[in-house]
Amino acid sequence: MRNVVARTIDDVKPQILSEVEGVLDSCMQAAHAGASAAELEPSLVRGLALPVRRMIALVLACACRGAFLRDIEARGLTPAQVKLRTDKSGYATVHTAAGPVTFPIFAYLDSSTPLPVTRSPAREILPYHRDCRSSPLSLQWEARLAAHFPFRKAEELFKFFTNGAATIEDTTISHHVLVIGSMVEPSWLYQTPEEIRRILNERATRDKKTNRPLLYLSSDAHALRRYVGETWATEWKMTNGIRVWCEDAATGKIIHLGGEFLWGDCREVGRRIQALLDDGVLPNGDEAWQAVNPQIVFVSDGTEWLTEHVIPLLGDVVVILDPYHLIDWFAAFARVVLGIGTDETKELHAKLNLVLFGKQPRRTGTAPRVRRGHKKKRGARREHAHDRKNLRRGRPRTVTSDVTTKGLIDLLYSIKLHTPEQEQAREALVERLANNALRTDYAVHLARGMQIGSGPMESMHRSGSQQRLKLAGAKWREESSLAILRFRMLELSGRWEEFWARVDLVPWLAKAFREAPKRHRAPAGVEICPT
């Protein structure tokens, strides 16, 4: 039996070599006849598609033959007790990057039992063939294309890149990406703890005050169109992003250490941050992290839920309010109180830059505006008035060692207001500033060599999500959007090749397709016969 099978497979080799030689000879003749490179390359690729499919069929048949021989040896069967299946149950079809490939799987009829049983040892080679008939390489290509293009466009590109060997009908990209993407473990979206510690030790910028490596963390949300419930109605929903990064001390570029997107609320973000701490992706106080001793810097937009659900988990952390959001708060206040584009608004923004960054307003060459009225300083009266309002509301006087926050509050109380609505807008902004005390002393943070902006977080929104999910007319189910987001973040983490080269990839794919909901399963087709 062993010799017959080996001889049958070896007979295929000369046929394949002959086909390859024929394609090469034909293209060489066309080249001598004056064919252009644009004509030669597609002809060569298309011509080799059939020999490549035969090669794939040969190596898969060899793998199935090996499983077959191991199985009959383990069962102690004699050649008389084994009969190979030569009907459709003895063959399988797999869609590959070169097109569909059909090959013998060496299923056999075992007559050693009272009732003959068909066995298919090829299950160990193709464990997910019942639910998916694409090869691992084909699945990887589908995932990469779908992570960057709409599903239909991805299928068209798949056909193009395979030179027509794989057609749209050969693939079900949306189904495959949904199944596999939903099973990508979040740990793959981040560098390993060992790699993060190495990067921090060797490449990251350091706190100029303590010489500790600076590790940045942020969380922010952006809106996507999502289907609501089981209806076709859509509305804007917020998806929360988490990013971990550091700054390259040599180049100043951002080193992405990991990130992800969640549809969950603030509590879900808190749970994921806690999971990152438990898994060692973020410093958790164990011995390995103590040796590195990084300084966590959390850059945020100042929302209250971060203070409640995230920051308390981080321990020794420097929290910085992104100045862009702070300036935006003042811009919103100025629209209500001073109007859009007025001289008073421009003057407020000039003073704001002076308080935040020590930047003097630029001179325009025009004559300075003459100030009317007396020049009596009223700061003391305003301060006492502020205290009286706080006492009436049952609040203690604002106490902060943050010079910048105090300067901002003083700036607000230097503005003359006229209506209760304006007073209310000012008090709301003062409250937000007081809640973010010690987070706006940018001069101190910059002197320590820290980044003060959330630009890396905002850029991850663009590259990780919006370039793919905010296409014109795009609307998403939660599960399909998360599948796409995970593939994009897997690619951004730099672990794409590592993921698809994992030793347990095939069993993992089998588990993913086996556990997929029935409504997402592939339609029935040629299957490996059951044991």
The token duo for 340 is 């859009």
Q: Provide mean pLDDT across the span 196-213.
A: 96
Give the whole-angstrom CA distance, residue 315 versus residue 43: 63
Q: One-letter amino acid identity for 42?
A: P
Question: pLDDT tens digits, residue range 506-530?
Answer: 999 999 998 887 544 443 333 233 3
Give the whole-angstrom CA distance, residue 45 versus residue 164: 10
Instruction: Give a yes or no: residue 215 inside a domain.
Output: yes
Q: Provide mean pLDDT across the span 486-515.
A: 94
User: Are 203 and 100 contained in the same domain?
Assistant: no
User: Are 126 and 197 contained in the same domain?
Assistant: no
Model confidence band, residue 369 (pLDDT cutoffs 50, 70, 90): low
pLDDT at 7 over 70: no
User: Are 293 and 355 contained in the same domain?
Assistant: no
Model confidence band, residue 363 (pLDDT cutoffs 50, 70, 90): low
Instruction: Give a yes or no: residue 506 inside a domain.
Output: no
The token duo for 286 is 């164990």
Q: Provide mean pLDDT across the span 474-489.
A: 92
For residue 370, the model assigns a pLDDT of 53
Instruction: Give a yes or no: residue 376 inside a domain.
Output: no
Give the whole-angstrom CA distance, residue 6 versus residue 442: 74
CA 116 to chain centroid: 51
Question: pLDDT tens digits, residue range 424-466?
Answer: 988 999 988 888 888 888 888 999 999 999 899 999 999 999 9
Left, alpha or beta for 74 (phi > 0: left; psi -120 to 50: alpha)?
Answer: alpha
pTM equals 0.82
Give the whole-angstrom CA distance, residue 429 versus residue 408: 10
Backbone angles phi, psi at 134, to 5 degrees: -105, 145
Which residues constitute the domain of residue 330? 325-361+381-442
User: Are 228 and 299 contained in the same domain?
Assistant: yes
Which stretches of 473-516 are DSSP H helices? Answer: 478-492, 496-500, 505-514
pLDDT at 139 over 90: yes
DSSP β-bridge partners for residue 300 = 321
Share of the chain above pLDDT 90, in %: 47
User: Are 315 and 329 contained in the same domain?
Assistant: no
Q: Provide mean pLDDT across the span 200-207.
A: 96
Position with higher pLDDT, 297 vs 14: 297
pLDDT at 9 over 80: no
For residue 418, the model assigns a pLDDT of 83
User: Are 431 and 460 contained in the same domain?
Assistant: no
Number of structural domains in the chain: 3
Instruction: Give a yes or no: residue 500 inside a domain.
Output: no
For residue 457, the model assigns a pLDDT of 93
User: Are 81 and 20 contained in the same domain?
Assistant: yes
Instruction: List C-alpha distances in Å: 205 to 73, 193, 264, 295, 451.
Output: 61, 18, 33, 11, 10
Model confidence band, residue 124 (pLDDT cutoffs 50, 70, 90): confident
User: Are 387 and 241 contained in the same domain?
Assistant: no
Question: pLDDT tens digits, residue range 82-116?
Answer: 999 988 889 999 988 888 899 999 999 999 988 88
Question: pLDDT tens digits, residue range 144-170?
Answer: 999 999 998 998 998 888 877 777 777
Share of the chain above pLDDT 70, in %: 87
